């Protein structure tokens, strides 16, 4: 499903890269905090400043949630670009924020659309595909719904039980972080000792204390990945 | 006129008259990313000041001895040693680059003529020895003065080489390399008060090392969930207690601090103390968790308190009180209404550090627009100062700055919307005994000193 509204002023379908670069370029140029979202965000900021607290009209809140969703989606897509390992701290903070957004969106729209889990047997572990489709579904469900009957009270967020974290979202995130490069890795936990011709070296004594042996974590992760592939 | 030299005792923050002393680094508008300073640290005596940058280099400045013939040089810091600590690497297994950026430098206490420091990037910690050489040997038998080997058959007599003075040369050599122990990115290193061990912390684990042993480390904290899907919290900083060698703390992305005692168990997964301030429900927003994430934790020199830095504030905790901090200082509360924009431009993820002065009576931390903030814990006063080239006349006093949060902007005030969010002061350091501070502003290092009365 495609987004019908232009994301940023004067830009019909900008890629996340362009949007990000424009924001940064504008920032640098003007040396002030004006991103590409100025038109939408100055409205949002004014609203935010006016009240300072969470006492908004449903429409205002929905716009705000939509903007935050789009920003978060950009960030998640950004992360999969670039040669450097992503920051786990940033990933966890964005993910937790997205969860809160999902929770409040589910509260404000009825009924909540459970996202279709993607079949992970396909080779595409790309983050953008899974997150993008889930969040686009949420956005369109928000667009289509009438303004909600109930006044959304975000202060109730902390009292509500958050819905289960979206499994596909999280699995994709965790597998991407682990840096899986393909299906080759999945065969590593299969015992090939009968096949290998190399002479067996004398096994090292198991450590008596807790050593941090490099590589040991990977074996747990591969089991986990196998479960996802086969079990979901 | 004879004047008795008064021993300078550290005083409260706002009694200071901070003056510009020096600035190091290029003046260019175009800053090379490799030159961006990523860590600043004084050594135990304060005579040495080390900086690390994104290009993996370490630059050490040494304080000049105060000199009667040059009274105005008053203990200036000049370059002592420069070396490449870390190089960029490539992890072939994951097809990812490993940045050479120096995340932290920590000095070891000095035990002999040489100086030792630990420097770390995301994956590897190195112990560097910095030593001076001011003599060289002359009169070798087997080689000429220019180094060419002599023909052994030509040598008819032996002589004893003699030592001759030479121009001082400072050499840095890597003595230990502690590698392959961190799957995730190292955010902290901390030398233990036993001076034999140190800890290194990444997002999910903390390891304990012996300084002499590089092929093993002990895992003392592991918060990695069995199922990575359940991960909601990471380790953001860790530090050893300054006096109790069995105690350390680590902070998290959810604004909590755990104090652990290594005597209780080998794997310190269960904390001895848990510090968390209950959330104020009236100020809750989608960003509450992000801004509560602790970016730095530092024990006071006394060991009685610790300080944490989150996005908008600095908190001082009494180690005997877990349910709330004893002090909270607002760094830039005017940013609370801008959190959405700061989330969009990623500034909300900036990790500011904080530091104590030598007597624990004042604390300092950075902000945006090259501003930094100082809080006097005794008088409860605070001040905002700026590190800029414009205010960089020798011994010029720093003028306090003020951010206008609304209404009519007074003269000399700056409005929130005019702040430059690219000019961030993330790293600051305070001399362990004197009123000298080092402030890193992107690629420039500013040194300010208190005016002598």
pLDDT digits (tens, 9 = 90+) for B326-373: 999 999 999 999 999 999 999 999 999 999 999 999 999 999 999 999
Nearest-neighbour CA in chain A from B85: distance (Å): 19
What is the rounded radius of gyration, in angstroms, for the C-alpha atoms of chain A?
22
**Secondary-structure breakdown of chain B: helix, strand, coil percentages, each rounded to the nearest 5:** 10, 40, 50
Q: How confident is the model at residue A51 (pLDDT cuts 50, 70, 90)?
A: very low
Q: Which of A62, A85, A188 is best to mutate for the B interface (most B CBs within 10 A)?
A: A85
Q: How confident is the model at residue A38 (pLDDT cuts 50, 70, 90)?
A: very low
- Which tens digit of pLDDT belongs to each residue from A55-108? 457 777 788 888 888 888 888 777 655 677 788 999 999 999 988 888 887 776
A101, part of any domain: yes
All structural domains of chain B, each given as residue ranges with its CATH number in brackets, are 18-450 (2.130.10.10)
Nearest residue in A to B349, CA atom: A90
Q: How confident is the model at residue A227 (pLDDT cuts 50, 70, 90)?
A: low
A88, part of any domain: yes
Q: For residue B408, what pLDDT is reported?
A: 76
Q: In which element (H, E) is residue A68 found?
A: helix A58-79
Strand pairing class (B413-415; B402-404) = parallel
Q: Which of A24, A93, A107 is best to mutate for the B interface (most B CBs within 10 A)?
A: A93
Nearest residue in B to A96, CA atom: B232
Distance spanning both ends of chain A, measured CA to CA: 24
Rounded to whole angstroms, how far apart are CA atoms B186 and B255?
A: 19
Partner-chain contact B97 A89, CB within 8 Å: no
Nearest-neighbour CA in chain B from A107: distance (Å): 15
Classify the complex by whether its ipTM is higher than 0.85, answering yes or no: yes
Chain A residues inside the 8 Å CB shell of B403: none
Residue B375 burial by Cβ neighbours in a 10 Å radius (0-12, 13-18, 19+): buried
A203, part of any domain: no
A96, part of any domain: yes
Mean pLDDT of B118-131: 97
Chain A residues inside the 8 Å CB shell of B98: 84-85
Q: Which domain holds residue A97?
A: 58-108
Q: For residue A107, what pLDDT is reported?
A: 75
Rounded to whole angstroms, how far apart are CA atoms A171 and A164?
A: 13
What Cα–Cα distance (Å) separates residue B154 from each residue in A187, B137, B158? 67, 21, 11
Rounded to whole angstroms, how far apart are CA atoms B135 and A158?
A: 69
Strand pairing class (B162-178; B413-415) = unpaired
Partner-chain contact B289 A96, CB within 8 Å: yes
Q: How confident is the model at residue A145 (pLDDT cuts 50, 70, 90)?
A: very low
Rounded to whole angstroms, how far apart are CA atoms B259 and B308?
A: 13
Rounded to whole angstroms, how far apart are CA atoms B141 and A110?
A: 92
- Considering only the beta carbons, identify the residue of A92, A167, A210 that sits closest to B232: A92
Q: Which of A35, A66, A96, A157 is best to mutate for the B interface (most B CBs within 10 A)?
A: A96
A53, part of any domain: no
CA proximity to A186, closest of A116, A125, A142, A95 = A125
Rounded to whole angstroms, how far apart are CA atoms B120 and B335?
A: 32
- Considering only the beta carbons, identify the residue of B96, B341, B419 that sits closest to A45: B341
Partner-chain contact B218 A89, CB within 8 Å: no
Nearest residue in A to B253, CA atom: A89
A78, part of any domain: yes
Q: For residue B342, what pLDDT is reported?
A: 96
Partner-chain contact A28 B232, CB within 8 Å: no
Q: For residue B53, what pLDDT is reported?
A: 97
Q: How many domains does chain A have?
A: 1
Q: Which of B202, B341, B406 is best to mutate for the A interface (most A CBs within 10 A)?
A: B341
Q: Which residues contact B425 (CB under 8 A, 6 or more apart)?
A: B352, B366, B367, B368, B370, B371, B372, B387, B439, B440, B441
The mean pLDDT value of chain B amounts to 92
More confident residue, B425 or A16: B425
A137, part of any domain: no
A114, part of any domain: no
Chain A residues inside the 8 Å CB shell of B88: none
Question: Is the pLDDT at A129 greater than 90, yes or no?
Answer: no
- Which tens digit of pLDDT belongs to each residue from B318-337? 999 999 999 999 999 999 99
Rounded to whole angstroms, how far apart are CA atoms B21 and B35?
A: 21
Partner-chain contact A53 B337, CB within 8 Å: no
Mean pLDDT of B229-246: 96
Question: Six-digit token pair at B151?
Answer: 């023909």
Q: Are A26 and B321 in contact (CB under 8 A)?
A: no
Q: For residue B442, what pLDDT is reported?
A: 95
Cα angle at B146 between B145 and B147, to 5 degrees?
A: 90
Ranges of beta strands (E only) in B57-196 are 57-63, 77-84, 89-91, 96-98, 104-107, 115-120, 125-138, 162-178, 188-191
Partner-chain contact B233 A167, CB within 8 Å: no
């Amino acid at each position: 499903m495609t987004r019908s509204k232009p994301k940023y002023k004067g830009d019909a379908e900008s890629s996340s890269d362009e949007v990000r670069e424009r924001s940064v370029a504008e920032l640098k140029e003007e040396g002030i905090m004006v991103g590409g979202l100025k038109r939408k965000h100055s409205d949002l900021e004014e609203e935010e400043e006016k009240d300072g607290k969470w006492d908004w009209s449903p429409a205002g809140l929905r716009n705000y949630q939509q903007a935050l969703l789009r920003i978060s989606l950009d960030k998640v897509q950004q992360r999969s670009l670039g040669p450097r390992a992503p920051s786990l701290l940033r990933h966890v903070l964005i993910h937790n924020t997205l969860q809160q957004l999902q929770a409040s969106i589910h509260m404000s729209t009825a009924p909540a659309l459970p996202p279709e889990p993607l079949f992970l047997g396909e080779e595409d572990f790309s983050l953008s595909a899974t997150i993008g489709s889930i969040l686009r579904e949420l956005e369109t469900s928000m667009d289509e719904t009438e303004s909600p009957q109930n006044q959304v009270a975000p202060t109730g967020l902390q009292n509500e039980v958050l819905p289960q974290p979206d499994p596909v979202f999280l699995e994709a995130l965790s597998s991407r972080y682990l840096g899986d490069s393909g299906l080759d890795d999945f065969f590593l936990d299969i015992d090939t000792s009968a096949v290998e011709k190399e002479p067996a070296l004398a096994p090292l004594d198991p450590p008596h204390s807790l050593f941090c042996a490099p590589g040991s974590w990977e074996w747990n992760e591969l089991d986990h990945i196998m479960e996802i592939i086969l079990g979901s | 006129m004879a004047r008795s030299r008064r021993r300078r005792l550290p005083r409260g923050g706002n009694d200071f008259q901070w003056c510009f002393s020096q600035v190091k680094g290029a003046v260019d508008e175009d800053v090379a990313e490799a030159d961006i300073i990523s860590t600043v640290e004084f050594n135990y005596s304060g005579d040495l000041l080390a900086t690390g940058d994104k290009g993996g280099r370490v630059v050490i400045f040494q304080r000049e001895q105060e000199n009667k013939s040059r009274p105005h040089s008053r203990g200036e810091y000049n370059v002592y040693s420069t070396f490449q600590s870390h190089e960029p690497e490539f992890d072939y297994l994951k097809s990812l680059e490993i940045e050479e950026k120096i995340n932290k430098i920590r000095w070891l206490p000095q035990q002999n003529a040489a100086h030792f420091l630990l420097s770390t990037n995301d994956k590897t910690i190195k112990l560097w020895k910095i030593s001076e050489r001011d003599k060289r040997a002359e009169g070798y038998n087997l080689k000429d003065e220019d180094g060419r080997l002599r023909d052994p058959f030509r040598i008819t007599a032996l002589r004893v080489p003699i030592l001759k003075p030479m121009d001082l040369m400072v050499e840095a050599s890597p003595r230990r390399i502690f590698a392959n122990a961190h799957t995730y990115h190292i955010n902290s290193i901390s030398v233990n008060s036993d001076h034999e061990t140190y800890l290194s912390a990444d997002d999910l684990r903390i390891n304990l090392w012996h300084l002499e042993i590089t092929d093993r480390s002990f895992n003392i904290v592991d918060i990695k969930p069995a199922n990575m899907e359940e991960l909601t919290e990471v380790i953001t900083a860790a530090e050893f207690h300054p006096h109790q060698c069995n105690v350390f703390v680590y902070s998290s992305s959810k604004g909590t601090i755990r104090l652990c005692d290594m005597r209780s168990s080998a794997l310190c997964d269960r904390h001895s103390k848990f510090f968390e301030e209950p959330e104020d429900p009236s100020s809750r927003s989608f960003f509450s968790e992000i801004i509560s994430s602790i970016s730095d934790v530092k024990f006071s020199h006394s060991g009685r308190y610790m300080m944490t830095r989150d996005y908008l504030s600095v908190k001082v905790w009494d180690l005997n009180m877990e349910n709330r901090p004893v002090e909270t200082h607002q760094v830039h509360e005017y940013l609370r209404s801008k959190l959405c924009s700061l989330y969009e431009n990623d500034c909300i993820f900036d990790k500011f550090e904080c530091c104590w002065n030598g007597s624990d009576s004042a604390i300092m931390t950075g902000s945006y627009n090259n501003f930094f903030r100082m809080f006097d814990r005794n008088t409860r006063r605070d001040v905002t100062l700026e590190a800029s080239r414009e205010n960089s006349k020798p011994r010029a006093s720093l003028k306090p700055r003020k951010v206008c949060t609304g209404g009519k902007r007074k003269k000399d005030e700056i409005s929130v919307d005019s702040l430059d969010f690219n000019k961030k002061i993330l790293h600051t350091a305070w001399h362990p005994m004197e009123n000298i501070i080092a402030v890193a502003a992107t690629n420039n290092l500013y040194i300010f000193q208190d005016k002598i009365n």
